[in-house]
A and B are shown apart, each in its own frame.
Chain A
């Protein structure tokens, strides 16, 4: 009797499945630092151009001990937080009102469209003229930078609110303010948080730019000043601080998002 041929089905979609290489993530990060250290140790690159990671850490510890680091960090953080807070509150307020009230939309949308493309740092000289060279002008430029992504994202979030839920709320007696507070705002929260994350990046960028142009303290000043005197190690300390600030703000916002939007993260 002849054997009947059998063809087994193979999993042809195997290559599409994505695995999580957790160890590889760590290796990549650590590997970069180790490679960097090795390159500086061989002496191929002068430490003037590329200081060693250990050197940077040593400098960071020294600056922390002397308190110099915290002075700069503190000043920058204050500017950042004020600018971020003012910009995001104003952005949410404008986003909600233009998203909800059509008259506000008619007024606000062309204004935002006209002013949004201006690179905010270009306004710093004007802001300095108006508000002086002190803190307000730096806070204002950061606030402006945060305001636009916040307003635009909040507006989009409000517009995306499910009309069925709005109808349901009205069916159960909700008026205008109840609808905004209980339906529109929670609907817009995911977009608001996306805006906050975008805004955090913009804020950091504008902070450094403003501090490089007109400041005698802050991380941006530290980086520029260290560069001017060719103290590359100190310059790198500043850059590391900025990187850590960026990562931490992202983490903080992600944590806040999880706390504020529990219905998205409970399974």
Chain B
């Protein structure tokens, strides 16, 4: 995914997964998740959610706030247990390539680590040798436009730069799937637009499958191959909307009929849901 040739991962730590012509598919199989809130009440976050992520696919998961999108990512990342259902990585090998890497909405960078240290974090945990860590980190620091900032601490960077570090840190471990939890929603509108473009550029080069959670329709349509539309809590899949726009995508496509129609279709699906959420007083 990262190198041009399949299996040509000279830079990868030992034991990394690489089989020519074989790519990984993610299967989310009827997941349900209920929380117990502080009052001891059971709250259903996800209900019978099923979806697939094909190799090299960019899937957006879209829904109103509090629809359990983040819960889905948490379960996929192995950070939360599901009540029922399972997530499979078809074609994966135990102890091989990391299944997922997450880019967090709040960046979640380690404040005591420099940019370099943050990007190397996942590689450290994989047991990569220092020289290799450095080399791989340098590659993704360059790819995300962070050159010259290697020695800076997160608090010395702008929001956009911080999230670049978050993306570089995630890509550096070469995950089977990149999980992105509203990665740009903490950024200002201009920065967000620029970061979307950059992410698409990076994705064109790495072709790592992405599950991208957002509540922004335009963002989802602009970037994704398919948009999985979620209902309000408990999150259910309302529909999956394929986006038939040419790649590589560019801003000019935002006026195209396919773009507008897809957006309208999604809005129709979630409008009533959003209205109901509004009446309830939000999430």
Binding site for B on A (CB under 8 A): 164-165, 167-174, 178, 182-183, 186, 189, 261-263, 266-267
Contacts and interface: CB of A to CB of B under 8 A. Distances in A.
Interface string B147-158: 000000111100
Contacts of B121: 169, 172, 182
5 contacts: A170-B79, A171-B101, A172-B173, A262-B112, A263-B112
Interface stretch (B49-57, B102-110, B214-222, B244-252): B102-110
Contact of A165 (B79, B108, B125, B173): B108
A252 to B, nearest CB: 22
Contacts of B122: 172-173
B126 A171 contact: no
Contacts of A263: 111-113, 153-155
Contact of B79 (A167, A182, A267): A167
A169 B153 CA distance: 17
A171 B79 contact: yes
B153 to A, nearest CB: 5
B98 interface: yes
Interface of B: 77-79, 98, 100-102, 104, 106, 108, 110-113, 121-122, 125-126, 153-156, 169, 173
Given A169-B125, A172-B125, A261-B112, 16 more contacts: A164-B106, A168-B102, A168-B110, A171-B77, A171-B100, A171-B101, A172-B101, A172-B173, A173-B98, A173-B125, A173-B126, A174-B125, A183-B110, A186-B112, A263-B112, A267-B156
A189 B155 CA distance: 17
Contacts of A182: 110, 121
B16 to A, nearest CB: 13
Most buried by B among A169, A173, A174, A267: A173
A165 B153 contact: no
A169 B104 CA distance: 12
Nearest to B170: A172
B7 to A, nearest CB: 23
Contacts of A165: 108, 110
Nearest to B106: A164
A187 B8 CA distance: 39
Contacts of B113: 263
Contacts of A189: 112
Of listed A165, A172, A173, residue having the most chain B CB within 10 A: A172
B126 A168 contact: no
A182 to B, nearest CB: 7
Contacts of B78: 171
